[in-house]
């Protein structure tokens, strides 16, 4: 039997893979991380009020991710739009997406076969990457990765001996954000997602780049807001940021590994507890907080709906 | 070279390190290291620079992908893209979701501009009940006696069989009738079933609903042939690994036959003498034909799981199960089978057999066998059996867990309490709880409240005719003292919450459950506080309601039927929340596993010791009575117009037992304990095929000695 199949790190479930959201949970509240990921406790309280608005918010976010995925697979935008004709919010987001200057230009160029344009684009929607950090593993699911080839002359290539301004393949990470307000840049900088996504692409993206790892300077992370199409938040990556992120993530994972069996400390900022389902377990409140205060924090992923399909019922007697 | 190749045989290594464009068909018995080859092949592809996102792993059931998940999630695995792991159903659903805007009109859906709604088994069954119930009143199915819910599920099963085998659903009754050799009156029952299948399919098309069968049919008939979808799959996945191909269905064969030539590499793994999912449409004879489509064929022989003695035992039973003319004349040259059986003189009754089994488990654990290396297997794991065994093991502090494919959500105490509180909070539904139900809900909801006080409280505060509660402070002081002020305070908090709730517009039922769980029941002083089991049950109930709402909410709104009222009614009828899938992920890692034999097989993990319960039972091989469907007749290999006879039934039973026994034995390393009692769980004496085969096998060895 392979050794690594027997691997089990401290008290995390076997095969546990970290993501930006589980790491963010740890940073926000160690107890929440412990309950959610180590002990895997289901605790189905309301997350934010009104409950129906929260559900709609999550559903729309999920639906938008799905539509963008369909778009990049080549399904005509107007056919996709028809599916949400009755939903004013989703229709608006979709119009913003299709008509976005920033983003629309990329879409336009993706079909451009003009040699003189001297660049080509390869969209990779909903792609996942993972890599080990020490004896743990971390993964990310990207809403969209755009690889852009700059066709440079051989002469340019011969002189390209620096990593300061590399030419060749650039990688842009797009992450769709469906919140009704745009968080400030400083807040975004400190989100685990802003650190994990570009870091992981640099670490695990070699197979997308002809076997060569992306240099950090080739990577840019963009949060694209469905209600603010002209104000994407751009985060160019750098070697310095990569080094800082590596040190930070390595330290963070080492800290998580040192967690004991006892109840982990609760969040210092009790305001977070209003949006945490475990609040009753921690004696940190009764009612959920308002959605408009919470939504910036939430990551809506495609597949919000819990999976349960025929495979699960394989053994039920008929 | 694979990173951990030290434990691999040269034969395994040769397959793993085959060229990156090899298409390989690998066969062998269970326990010969085929899945290990599959896992290592995936890792080898990754090590060789194949992007993970270009690899598709196809398995017939998700549990069978566990060794792959474990390897892929290991920190020692190469960084890169994620391998996609799917079942054929999962692939179909994913593709229908993605390419839906292109196909609804040609696929016959009435609302092409609306998104699809995917049905779960529960919601499909709900709609089936909705359509069939009125027909029952008209005399449909009157000649058969069967629970209504099983009737609905068998009609759904027929549709699923048509989809996985690949014949039009309009041919269901024709196929069933042509094989029916009994009373000709049965034929009209098949017509009824066919009519109901038609109605259901038309209803689904009318409302953009996709049950499992329609997902598959839309995928195979409309998405797979469309160039954009075909190209997407072709470009996305260049390398394919298929494990447990023998458990997969004929349409998987069709798909693989077509796409194999287009792939760069493929590894198809086939377990010989298996095919346990026949009742789900598995067709090993059909899928085995893919062998000829692969340029390279390989077989593994050496067993890594079962010891020589265990294998000999398996061989002896297998021989005993074969018809006399097929038995081998070869000697079984081992007289020391590693089997133990319960002593008949002291295990006449079933509970005595359970005692013996638990004693033997305790002895093994004392000897240092990890509990996770022990399984207790039965043909069917009833609630009573599960309870009896776990209680006994708990007393000895031996960790154990059971995995039945499903548990009855509505039987859970937390569910019953929540449903009662929901009825109480929504008087407009007219579902007034009984005093008994309310007292029970109080016991579950209010911490430290005992039965006597719960009944006293209910008698005083509950007006059963109106379904309303009165405040605690209106109770006489001496009675308040009997109940205690502490418990009274808790009751009053809950009462006030319910009062406030009824004054406002009602929530959706799932939101109601979430709210009352978070704001009352899980708060300090209430019954669910820090009770993780109650949390999980509540989460499952909420999920069930939410899926119900998403699937049927619009239809009910159109008829002005409150969803919560309908949900509770359906729970009462046993249509929904009767069975529910609990997570596979929350299993303890080192505990005795209690399971039905087939569930253990589908987990596909060998253990040191197996306990077989009640080996006299016919449940080990007999099919469940299914008057409306038939897994063998509705298969690709059954000749139309050939009647299904008693002889076919006997042969099928014996064949399934043969495969089952070999499957179990090949997943056992050290020893088997046979539990037998004169009287079975139901109190009847059984001497089925299994016990007779074991008896014959043992006698053959004894006579040689």
Is B356 contained in some domain?
Answer: yes
When divided into structural domains, chain B yields a total of: 4
CATH code assigned at B259: 3.40.50.300
Question: By percentage, how much of chain A surpasses pLDDT 70?
Answer: 78
pLDDT at A105 over 60: no
- Name the nearest CA neighbour of B304 among B67, B594, B9, B501: B9
3-state secondary structure B538-581: HHHHHHHHHHHHHHHHHHHHHCCCCHHHHHHHHHHHCCCCCCEC
B7/A2 CB distance under 8 A: yes
Structure tokens, B594: 């209690």
pLDDT in tens, B37-50: 999 999 999 999 99
Is B522 contained in some domain?
Answer: yes
- Sort out which chain B residues have CB atoms less than 8 A from A196's CB and list them: none
Question: What does the pLDDT read at residue B370?
Answer: 96
Same domain, yes or no: B62 and B120: no
Domain boundary among the residues B193, B216, B239 is at: B216
Residue B494 confidence class, pLDDT cut points 50, 70, 90: very high
The stretch A179-195 carries a mean pLDDT of: 92
A309/B102 CB distance under 8 A: no
Same domain, yes or no: B178 and B90: no
Lowest mean pLDDT among A30-44, A193-207, B111-125, B314-328: B314-328
DSSP percent split of chain B into helix, strand, coil, nearest 5: 55, 10, 35
The stretch B380-401 carries a mean pLDDT of: 89
Same domain, yes or no: B402 and B413: no
The whole-chain average pLDDT of chain A stands at: 83
Same domain, yes or no: B545 and B434: yes
Domain boundary among the residues B216, B234, B254 is at: B216
The stretch A50-73 carries a mean pLDDT of: 94
List, in sequence order, every beta strand (DSSP E) within B356-508: 374-378, 400-402, 462-463, 468-469
Same domain, yes or no: B451 and B536: yes
The contacts found for A160-168 with CB under 8 angstroms, 24 or more apart, are A163/A215, A163/A217, A163/A239, A164/A217, A165/A217, A166/A215, A166/A217, A166/A218, A168/A218
A134/B75 CB distance under 8 A: yes
Residue A295 confidence class, pLDDT cut points 50, 70, 90: low
Question: What does the pLDDT read at residue A12?
Answer: 83
Question: What does the pLDDT read at residue B677?
Answer: 82
Structure letter (DSSP) for residue B220: I
Count of other CB atoms within 10 angstroms of residue B621: 22
For residue A209, the number of C-alpha atoms closer than 13 Å in the C-beta half-sphere is: 25
Lowest mean pLDDT among A192-206, B115-129, B361-375, B685-699: B685-699
| DSSP structure string for A87-115 | -HHHHHHHHHHHH-HHHHHHHHHHT---G
Q: What number is the ipTM of this complex?
A: 0.89
- Name the nearest CA neighbour of B266 among B588, B20, B509: B20
Relative orientation angle of helices B451-461 and B435-445, to the nearest 10 degrees = 120
- Name the nearest CA neighbour of A176 among A33, A71, A314, A31: A71
pTM of the model: 0.89
Structure tokens, A236: 């160019």
- CB-CB: which of B81, B150, B543 is closest to A127? B81
Is B305 contained in some domain?
Answer: no
Residue A150 confidence class, pLDDT cut points 50, 70, 90: low
Q: Is the CB of residue B69 less than 8 Å away from at least one CB of chain A? A: yes
Same domain, yes or no: B419 and B549: yes
**In chain B, whose CA is at the least distance from the CA of A310?**
B212
pLDDT in tens, B309-357: 888 888 888 888 887 777 766 665 555 678 888 887 777 788 889 999 9
**In chain A, whose CA is at the least distance from the CA of B408?**
A316
Is B319 contained in some domain?
Answer: no
Question: What does the pLDDT read at residue A116?
Answer: 42
Is B100 contained in some domain?
Answer: no
Question: What does the pLDDT read at residue B463?
Answer: 95
Residue A109 confidence class, pLDDT cut points 50, 70, 90: very low
Residues B626 and B689 sit within 8 Å (Cβ to Cβ)? no
Question: What does the pLDDT read at residue A297?
Answer: 59
3-class secondary-structure state, position B341: strand
Residues A135 and A253 sit within 8 Å (Cβ to Cβ)? no
Question: What does the pLDDT read at residue B695?
Answer: 86
- Name the nearest CA neighbour of B353 among B320, B375, B376: B376
Q: How far is CA B184 from CA A71, B122, B383, in A?
A: 55, 33, 38
Q: Using CA atoms, how far apart are residues B694 and B690, in angstroms rounded to an integer?
A: 6
Same domain, yes or no: B523 and B415: yes
Which has the higher per-residue pLDDT, B23 or B603? Answer: B23
Count of other CB atoms within 10 angstroms of residue B299: 14
**In chain A, whose CA is at the least distance from the CA of B212?**
A310
Which has the higher per-residue pLDDT, B142 or B517? Answer: B517
Same domain, yes or no: B394 and B526: no
Is B174 contained in some domain?
Answer: yes
- CB-CB: which of A39, A46, A79 is closest to B514? A46
Which residue shows structure tokens 């499992």? B212
pLDDT at B186 over 70: yes
Structure letter (DSSP) for residue B118: E
Smallest CA–CA distance, residue B119 to chain A, in Å, is 8
Q: Using CA atoms, how far apart are residues A9 and A138, in angstroms rounded to an integer?
A: 14
Smallest CA–CA distance, residue B683 to chain A, in Å, is 23
Count of other CB atoms within 10 angstroms of residue B316: 22
B69/A277 CB distance under 8 A: no
Q: Is the CB of residue B508 less than 8 Å away from at least one CB of chain A? A: yes
Q: Using CA atoms, how far apart are residues B280 and B278, in angstroms rounded to an integer?
A: 5
pLDDT at B406 over 60: no
Find the domain containing B286 and state its range. Answer: 5-94+226-300
Q: Using CA atoms, how far apart are residues A167 and A150, in angstroms rounded to an integer?
A: 6
Residue B702: is it exposed, middle or buried by C-beta count within 10 angstroms (0-12/13-18/19+)? exposed
Question: What does the pLDDT read at residue B310?
Answer: 83
Best A200, A310, A313 member to test B by mutation, with max B CBs in 10 Å, is: A310
**In chain A, whose CA is at the least distance from the CA of B542?**
A44
Question: What does the pLDDT read at residue A298?
Answer: 60
Same domain, yes or no: B487 and B602: no
Question: What does the pLDDT read at residue B580?
Answer: 57
Q: Using CA atoms, how far apart are residues B115 and B109, in angstroms rounded to an integer?
A: 10
Structure tokens, B543: 């999920």
B316-B320-B326-B327 Cα dihedral, nearest 10 degrees? 40
What burial letters (b/e) apply to B381-408, b meaning 16+ CB within 10 Å? beeebbebbbebbeeeebebbbbbbbbe
For residue B282, the number of C-alpha atoms closer than 13 Å in the C-beta half-sphere is: 25
Question: What does the pLDDT read at residue B410?
Answer: 83
Q: Using CA atoms, how far apart are residues B500 and B493, in angstroms rounded to an integer?
A: 11
Terminal alpha carbon distance of chain B:
49
Q: How far is CA B297 from CA B261, B465, B474, in A?
A: 16, 74, 82
3-class secondary-structure state, position B325: helix
Question: What does the pLDDT read at residue A257?
Answer: 92
The stretch A199-220 carries a mean pLDDT of: 95
pLDDT at B416 over 90: yes
Question: By percentage, how much of chain B surpasses pLDDT 90?
Answer: 73
- Name the nearest CA neighbour of B6 among A1, A135, A8: A1
- Sort out which chain A residues have CB atoms less than 8 A from B92's CB and list them: none
pLDDT at A314 over 70: no
Same domain, yes or no: B432 and B568: yes
Which residue shows structure tokens 């160029």? A109
In chain A, the domains with their CATH numbers are 17-305 (3.90.320)
Is B311 contained in some domain?
Answer: no
pLDDT in tens, B68-104: 999 999 999 999 999 999 999 999 999 999 999 999 9
- CB-CB: which of B51, B118, B511 is closest to A52? B511
**Residue B607 host element (H or E):** strand B607-612
- CB-CB: which of A15, A46, A135 is closest to B69? A15
B626/A316 CB distance under 8 A: no
Smallest CA–CA distance, residue B563 to chain A, in Å, is 15
Same domain, yes or no: B532 and B642: no
Is B579 contained in some domain?
Answer: no
Structure letter (DSSP) for residue B330: -
Domain boundary among the residues B173, B193, B216 is at: B216
- CB-CB: which of A41, A70, A286 is closest to B101? A70
Q: Is the CB of residue B94 less than 8 Å away from at least one CB of chain A? A: no
- Name the nearest CA neighbour of B76 among B96, B49, B47: B47
Same domain, yes or no: B493 and B527: yes
């Amino acid at each position: 039997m392979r050794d690594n199949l027997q691997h089990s790190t401290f008290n995390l479930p076997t095969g546990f893979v970290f993501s930006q959201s589980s790491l963010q949970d740890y940073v926000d509240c160690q107890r929440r991380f412990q309950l959610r990921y180590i002990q895997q406790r289901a605790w189905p309280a309301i997350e934010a009020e009104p409950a129906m608005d929260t559900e709609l918010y999550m559903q729309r976010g999920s639906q938008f991710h799905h539509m963008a995925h369909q778009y990049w697979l080549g399904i005509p935008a107007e056919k996709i739009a028809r599916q949400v004709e009755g939903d004013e919010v989703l229709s608006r987001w979709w119009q913003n997406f299709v008509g976005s200057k920033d983003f629309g230009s990329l879409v336009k160029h993706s079909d451009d076969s003009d040699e003189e344009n001297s660049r080509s684009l390869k969209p990779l929607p909903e792609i996942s990457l993972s890599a080990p950090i020490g004896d743990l593993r971390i993964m990310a699911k990207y809403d969209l990765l755009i690889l852009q080839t700059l066709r440079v002359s051989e002469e340019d290539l011969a002189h390209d001996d620096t990593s300061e301004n590399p030419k060749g393949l650039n990688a842009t990470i797009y992450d769709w954000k469906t919140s009704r307000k745009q968080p400030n840049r400083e807040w975004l900088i400190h989100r685990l997602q802003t650190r994990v996504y570009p870091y992981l692409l640099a670490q695990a993206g070699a197979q997308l780049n002809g076997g060569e790892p992306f240099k950090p300077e080739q990577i840019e992370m963009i949060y694209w807001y469905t209600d603010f199409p002209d104000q994407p938040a751009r985060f160019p990556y750098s070697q310095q940021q990569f080094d800082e992120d590596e040190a930070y993530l390595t330290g963070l994972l080492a800290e998580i590994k040192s967690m004991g069996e006892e109840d982990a400390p609760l969040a210092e900022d009790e305001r977070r507890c209003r949006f945490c389902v475990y609040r009753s377990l921690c004696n940190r409140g009764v009612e959920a907080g308002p959605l408009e205060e919470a939504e910036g924090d939430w990551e809506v992923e495609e597949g919000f709906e819990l999976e349960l399909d025929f495979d699960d019922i394989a053994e039920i007697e008929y | 070279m694979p990173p951990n190749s030290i434990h691999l045989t040269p034969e395994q290594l040769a397959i793993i390190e085959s060229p990156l464009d090899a298409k390989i068909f690998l066969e062998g018995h269970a326990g010969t290291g085929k899945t290990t080859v599959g896992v290592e092949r995936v890792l080898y592809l990754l090590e060789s620079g194949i992007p993970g996102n270009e690899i598709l792993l196809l398995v017939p059931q998700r549990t069978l992908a566990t060794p792959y998940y474990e390897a892929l999630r290991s920190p020692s695995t190469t960084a890169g893209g994620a391998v996609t792991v799917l079942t054929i159903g999962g692939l179909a659903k994913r593709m229908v979701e993605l390419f839906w805007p292109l196909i609804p009109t040609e696929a016959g859906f009435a609302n092409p501009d609306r998104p699809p709604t995917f049905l779960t088994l529960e919601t499909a069954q709900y709609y089936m009940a909705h359509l069939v119930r009125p027909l029952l009143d008209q005399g449909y199915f009157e000649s058969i006696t069967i629970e209504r819910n099983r009737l609905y599920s068998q009609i759904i099963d027929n549709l699923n069989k048509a989809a996985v085998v690949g014949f039009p659903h309009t041919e269901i009754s024709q196929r069933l009738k042509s094989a029916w050799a009994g009373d000709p009156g049965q034929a009209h029952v098949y017509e009824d079933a066919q009519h109901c299948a038609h109605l259901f399919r038309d209803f689904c098309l009318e409302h953009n609903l996709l049950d499992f069968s329609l997902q598959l049919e839309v995928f195979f008939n409309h998405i797979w042939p469309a160039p954009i979808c075909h190209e997407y799959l072709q470009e996305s996945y260049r390398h394919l690994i298929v494990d447990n191909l023998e458990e997969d269905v004929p349409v998987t064969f069709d798909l693989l036959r077509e796409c194999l030539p287009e792939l760069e590499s493929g590894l198809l793994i086939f377990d010989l003498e298996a095919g346990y999912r026949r009742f789900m449409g598995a067709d090993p004879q059909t899928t085995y034909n893919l062998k000829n489509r692969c340029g390279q064929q390989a077989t593994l022989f050496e067993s890594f799981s079962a010891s020589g003695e265990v294998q000999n035992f398996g061989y002896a039973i297998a021989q005993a199960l074969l018809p006399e003319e097929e038995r081998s004349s070869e000697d079984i040259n081992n007289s020391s089978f590693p089997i133990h059986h319960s002593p008949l003189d002291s295990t006449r009754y079933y509970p005595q057999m359970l005692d013996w089994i638990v004693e033997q488990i305790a002895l093994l654990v004392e000897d240092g066998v990890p509990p996770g290396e022990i399984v207790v297997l039965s043909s069917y794991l009833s609630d009573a059996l599960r309870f009896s065994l776990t209680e006994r093991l708990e007393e000895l502090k031996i960790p154990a867990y059971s995995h039945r494919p499903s548990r009855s959500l509505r039987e859970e105490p937390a569910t019953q309490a929540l449903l009662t509180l929901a009825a109480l909070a929504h008087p407009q539904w007219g579902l007034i709880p009984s005093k008994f139900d309310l007292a029970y809900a109080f016991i579950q909801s209010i911490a430290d409240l005992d039965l006597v006080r719960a009944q006293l409280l209910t008698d005083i505060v509950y007006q059963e005719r109106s379904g309303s509660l009165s405040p605690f402070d209106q109770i006489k002081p001496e009675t308040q003292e009997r109940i205690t002020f502490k418990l009274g305070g808790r009751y009053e908090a809950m009462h006030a919450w319910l009062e406030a709730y009824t004054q406002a517009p009602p929530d959706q039922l799932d939101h109601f459950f979430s709210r009352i769980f978070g704001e009352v029941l899980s708060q300090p002083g209430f019954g669910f506080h820090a009770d993780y089991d109650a949390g999980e049950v509540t989460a499952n109930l909420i999920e069930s309601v939410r899926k119900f709402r998403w699937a049927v909410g619009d239809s009910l709104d159109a008829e002005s039927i409150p969803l919560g009222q309908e949900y509770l009614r359906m729970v009462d009828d046993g249509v929904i929340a009767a069975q529910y899938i609990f997570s596979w992920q929350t299993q303890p890692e080192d505990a005795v596993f209690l399971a039905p034999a087939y569930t253990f097989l589908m987990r596909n993990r060998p253990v040191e010791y197996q306990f077989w319960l009640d080996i006299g039972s016919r449940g080990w091989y007999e099919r469940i009575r299914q008057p409306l469907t038939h897994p063998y007749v509705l298969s690709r290999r059954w000749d139309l117009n050939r009647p299904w006879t008693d002889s076919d039934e006997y042969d099928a039973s014996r064949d399934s037992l043969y495969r089952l026994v070999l499957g179990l034995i090949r997943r056992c390393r050290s020893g088997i304990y046979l539990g037998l009692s004169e009287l079975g769980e139901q109190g009847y004496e059984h001497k089925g095929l299994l016990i007779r085969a074991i008896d014959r096998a043992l006698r053959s060895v004894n006579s040689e000695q």
